Each structure stands twice: as structure tokens, then as C-alpha cells.
């Protein structure tokens, strides 16, 4: 997905999983490596890193 779509989809999806669960975001846009961690910091979620185009985010609240 191209930015800002990965962050938009993450924002929608994160509320559907329980606290402590991990959401995997698939994004082939290089900007996602900056945008997703920044969104996590702003929203108090934990960015767990990336494996290629897969970015893992743990819901904290």
C-alpha cells in the first residue's frame, strides 16, 4: 500500500483487536518505515519493527 493508506488502515484496524495484540501492516512504500513508527509514538502503541514490507504494531491502549 502507498502512504498514507497504511496508517489509515492501521488506525481503523488497531481498535478491532484486544490490548496487547499485534497488527501486521503490509506496506511497500518506503515512507511507511517512517510514518508507521511516528503514528505509533503519537498514539502510544508499540512499533515492533519491520521484516521487509511487513510492519508489526502492538496495541497498548
Q: What is the pLDDT of residues 26-60, one digit of tens each?
A: 999 999 999 999 999 999 999 999 999 999 999 99
Q: Which residues pair with 58 in a beta bridge?
A: 22, 46
- For residue 48, count CB atoms less than 10 angstroms from its CB and return exposed for 0-12, middle for 13-18, buried for 19 or more: middle
Q: Is 40 a catalytic residue?
A: no
pTM above 0.75, yes or no: yes
Which of the following is catalytic: 1, 2, 3, 57?
3
Question: What pLDDT score was predicted for residue 4?
Answer: 78
Domains recognised in the chain with CATH numbers: 4-59 (3.30.110.40)
Amino acid at each position: 500500500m502507498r502512504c498514507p493508506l497504511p496508517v489509515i488502515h492501521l488506525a481503523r484496524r488497531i481498535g478491532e483487536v484486544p490490548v496487547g495484540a499485534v497488527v501486521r501492516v503490509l506496506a511497500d512504500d518506503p515512507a511507511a518505515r517512517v510514518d508507521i513508527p511516528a503514528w505509533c509514538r503519537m498514539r502510544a502503541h508499540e512499533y515492533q519493527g519491520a521484516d521487509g514490507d511487513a510492519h508489526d504494531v502492538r496495541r497498548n491502549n
